[in-house]
Amino acid sequence: MAGQQAVEHKYVYDFSEGNKDQKDLLGGKGANLAEMTNLGLPVPPGFTITTEACKAYLSTGEEPAGLGDQISARLATLESAMGKRLGDPDDPLLVSVRSGAKFSMPGMMETVLNVGLNDRSVVGLSAQAGGNDRFAWDSYRRLIQMFGKTVCEVPGEEFEHALDDAKRVKGVTNDLDLDADDLRGLVDAYKSIFSKHTGREFPQEPREQLDLAIHAVFESWNADRAVLYRRQERIPADLGTAVNVVAMVFGNLGPDSGTGVAFTRDPASGAQGIYGDYLANAQGEDVVAGIRNTVPLQELEQLDKKSYDELLSIMARLEEHYKDLCDIEFTIERGKLWMLQTRVGKRTAAAAFVIAGQLVDEGLIDLDEALHRVNGAQLAQLMFPRFKLDHEFQPVAKGIGASPGAAVGKVVFTSARAVELAAEGESVILVRRETNPDDLNGMIAAQGILTSRGGKTSHAAVVARGMGKTCVSGADDLDIDIPGRKFVVGGQTVSEGDVVSIDGTTGKVFLGEVPVMPSEVVQYFEGSLDPAHIDNALVRAVHRIMTHADGKRRLRVRTNADTGADAARARRFGAEGIGLCRTEHMFLGDRKELVERLILARDGKERDDALAALLPLQRADFVEIFREMDGLPVTVRLIDPPLHEFLPPLEQLAVNVAVAQERGEDVAKEEALLSAVRRMHEQNPMLGLRGVRLGLVIPGLFAMQVRAIAEAAVECAKQGVRSCPEIMVPLVGAVQELETVRAEAEKIIAEVTREQPVDVLIGTMIEVPRAALTAGQIAEAAQFFSFGTNDLTQMGWGFSRDDVEGAFFWRYLELGIFGISPFESIDREGVGRLVRIATEEGRAARPGLKIGVCGEHGGDPESVHFFHEVGLDYVSCSPFRVPVARLEAGRAVVETGGSDSR
Ligand code: PEP
Ligand code: MG
């Protein structure tokens, strides 16, 4: 009926219809091809099938209604733009079918090139290529190979063996030395392989080829390696991939053709310049796969100046347009340049900082944007040590510094062996000629990756950079024998298990273990490098961006530190106080003896004596810390762990007693300890006699600690040192617990500070779910809150924090129950909700209540953003993570548009 027809869903977009901001729908590649098309750059015509079509196909196993017709319509447009028809025996249009998800997943999904070739059109292609038979048959054999492997799951090695056989018969090693007849023969061999595995002939109908290739790309979204990569990179599993159908242009038409990849700046160091690899007379996949060694892009200037100049001007234009480092894939077909892809390029952590700084200098972005473009994980990576090199260590080979860092480990040659040895706790270096997506597991397990082929853009390089793994690629002096599990370099043989050291910044490879030294970024934080006076682009960029983050952030950053040395280091890293000083370490070492006396005390007198002996030691600890922090707040947590943790294990005591008895020695003390351990045994110690419960049950224990804190503050004050102690009570679940402890503490503080007044706050941890849910009541008795998100996660989920991560989290991650351990990054919906409730209700009861977090989450980038959103006053984390938290706290402000949710 006229006018009643449902509006058909649009699944196919011409390149002229999209733009770079449509990555959700068109995938990264499609959106950027559209953007380049609209910029008037030379992009071969084509169209994009949306991620929605992919999702529909994956959920039903069938093309959604209307997709086939929309493809036909776009194909007709493409054919008329090119003046060629798909399958035309005289002048065939060939297309590539390429995946393109929202987030780049290098090499993880499928591509099929040269779709449209068959037994007849191969002849037409040759004629159109000026009688270049070799080219036509090479294109056809590539189609059968890629189509067979990708669409029909024919084992790829079979094609590779057939190619090797053809080269052997001919007595050549380079595939360029195979002529048209050899390739024609190879096509026959490939077709037999195809039919042997699929039970059918290679499809001759171009539209069938196209449809099957599109389905295969859709399906490759769920290939094992893609699933693994997404998990590793935390890419959501339900996005689907778009499919780009693009008119083929050929880089393998002769010496005036070629293909390459380029970066507008060095993706490893961030240095300005032209970086890339070029391979004459080849198709694009040859470069990425590292099949043949490429030449530096600069050499293109000699080979084809016109294309080179055009490429440079396009690269400049793209950088200006995207305001960022771009990476590019291009092909030159007989002297004509075509842009096949661009995107904002992946880069190393160092390059991210350096480039952000440069772009600010160039006026392309402002400092807020620079801050947005770097992250805490990158900063953490820059804080890793580097090799300490002197003349003693000579490299045995030099490849390309593809992903920086210093990695030392035992050589392994297969992904499986890497996984095996890593599981045994060994550090391994995965050595391959080149990697491919099947090596992903081994790459994850390895400390570093070393390849003998491929450039900065090879699979190994791209994936390693994405993972933040050290990688040296293209070390072509290495003669690698994978089956023999060895490589030879400079006359020396290195076998599986031998140790090598690889430097991902310089590309150098060393035999044996090279010692490492701290990073410049750490040296800068430690104050031994002055950014104003050193010629180090990275340190200058870090300094500039950190300064901006500090100016922006609302959250304060404190540290978890239990000793003067930790406190001093954390201050150099920018800590603005101590958010958690765990006092339990003060009960260890030679003080264990005193703790044993306390536990074994038979009466009040013995207990008081033991506590009295501990008091001056604790006081001295606090004096040291207060001095280091010099007036900054120091949150001291009263003792938290169950006391039996300070005693030897039951089994050991039982053996000691038995042995001593056997020898006729005096066992009275051992026996007393043993019976104490038996008496104190708990089935669930994390839920037992610990935290505030200890303070309520063991007379004088908390009192001693409170006295030590107050006396230390008084001692400091007398010496002119300011201190700002905050006493924190752990594991509170009910306000009455806190009130009881607080009443006693206040009495002691009043007494100690009578003559030398000092302010001492008394607050509580919020780490038991009940405390979070009754925060309004607890706030009445607490001068501050600090979330103990380790325990809050443990008790919120009912996960024993010491057991579950090793025991079964892998399965939870595999099932997608969570994407990351909730002990690592805050579970926003559950545990995070408790944090929100407690913050709101605590502040409703006591306006302006100071609230922080001191669980591990305080240094986790994602969680810092959450704590900013919730409106906490500070996060507290280990000294090393303080710079990360500062950076992320600044980023959180920039990313929420400077808003403050409080
Ligand atoms: C916590 O539970 O988050 C916390 C900081 O305390 P601890 O890790 O010492 O239990
Ligand atoms: Mg705790």
The CB of 789 under 6 Å from ligand 1? The reply is yes
pLDDT for residue 216 is more than 80: yes
Q: For the segment 781-794, what is each residue's pLDDT rounded down to a tens digit?
A: 999 999 999 999 99
What's the 3-state SS for 253-317?
CCCCCEEEEEEEECCCCCCEEEEEEEEECCCHHHHHCCCCCCEEHHHHHHHCHHHHHHHHHHHHH
For residue 306, the Cα-to-chain-centroid distance in whole angstroms is 40
Rounded (10°) CA dihedral 769, 775, 779, 785 = 50
Tell me, in angstroms, the distance from the centre of ligand 1 to residue 639's CA: 11
Count of all residues that appear for the chain in the document: 902
Buried-state track 879-888, b at ≥16 Cβ within 10 A, e below 16: bbbbbbbbbb
pLDDT for residue 765 is more than 80: yes
pLDDT for residue 651 is more than 90: no
Q: Which residues are catalytic?
A: 459, 854
Which of 791, 792, 800 best tests ligand 1's pocket when mutated (most atoms within 8 Å of CB)?
A: 791
The CB of 581 under 6 Å from ligand 1? The reply is no
**Residues of the chain with pLDDT > 90: what percent?**
72
Q: For the segment 317-373, what is each residue's pLDDT rounded down to a tens digit?
A: 999 999 999 999 999 999 999 999 999 988 989 999 999 999 999 999 999 999 999
The model's pTM:
0.79
Mean pLDDT of the residues in the chain = 91
Q: For the segment 3-54, what is each residue's pLDDT rounded down to a tens digit?
A: 445 567 999 999 999 999 999 999 999 999 999 999 999 999 999 999 999 9
Element (H, E) at 769: helix 769-773
What confidence score (pLDDT) does residue 3 get?
Answer: 46
Tell me, in angstroms, the distance from the centre of ligand 1 to residue 831's CA: 14
Q: Which residue has the tokens 């804080």?
A: 383
| Phi-psi label, residue 330: left if phi above 0, alpha if psi -120 to 50, beta otherwise | beta
- Which has the higher per-residue pLDDT, 176 or 472? 472
What confidence score (pLDDT) does residue 467 get?
Answer: 67
Q: How far apart are CA 235 and CA 219, in angstroms?
A: 17
Task: Determine the atom of ligand 1 nearest the C-alpha atom of 789.
Answer: 3
What confidence score (pLDDT) does residue 900 get?
Answer: 42
Which CA distances in Å does 345 have to 100, 106, 264, 341, 738? 15, 12, 9, 11, 54
The CB of 788 under 6 Å from ligand 1? The reply is yes
Task: Report CA torsion sign: 6, 10, 14, 15.
Answer: positive
Q: For the segment 255-279, what is each residue's pLDDT rounded down to a tens digit?
A: 999 999 999 999 988 998 889 999 9
The CB of 231 under 6 Å from ligand 1? The reply is no
**Rounded average pLDDT over 699-709:** 97
Task: Determine the atom of ligand 1 nearest the C-alpha atom of 855.
Answer: 3
Task: Determine the atom of ligand 1 nearest the C-alpha atom of 856.
Answer: 3
pLDDT band at 288 (very low <50, low <70, confident <90, very high): low
Whether 787 and 852 have beta carbons less than 8 Å apart is answered as: yes
Rounded (10°) CA dihedral 618, 623, 624, 626 = 120
pLDDT for residue 800 is more than 50: yes
Q: How far apart are CA 629 and CA 876, in angstroms?
A: 14
What confidence score (pLDDT) does residue 7 get?
Answer: 67
pLDDT for residue 1 is more than 90: no
What confidence score (pLDDT) does residue 705 get?
Answer: 97
The CB of 767 under 6 Å from ligand 1? The reply is yes
The CB of 855 under 6 Å from ligand 1? The reply is yes
Q: For the segment 824-882, what is each residue's pLDDT rounded down to a tens digit?
A: 899 999 999 999 999 999 999 999 999 999 998 999 999 999 999 999 999 999 888 89
What confidence score (pLDDT) does residue 468 get?
Answer: 65
In the chain the first and final C-alpha atoms are separated, in Å, by: 57
Q: For the segment 654-694, what is each residue's pLDDT rounded down to a tens digit?
A: 888 898 888 888 888 888 889 989 999 999 999 999 999 99
- Which has the higher per-residue pLDDT, 646 or 45? 45
DSSP code at position 890: H
What are the structure tokens assigned to 646, written together?
A: 């300070």
Q: How far apart are CA 166 and CA 160, in angstroms?
A: 10
- Which has the higher per-residue pLDDT, 818 or 364? 364
**Rounded average pLDDT over 721-725:** 97
Q: Is 833 helix (H, G, I), strand (E, B) or coil?
A: helix
pLDDT for residue 92 is more than 90: yes
Whether 210 and 115 have beta carbons less than 8 Å apart is answered as: yes
What are the structure tokens assigned to 455, written together?
A: 């450039």
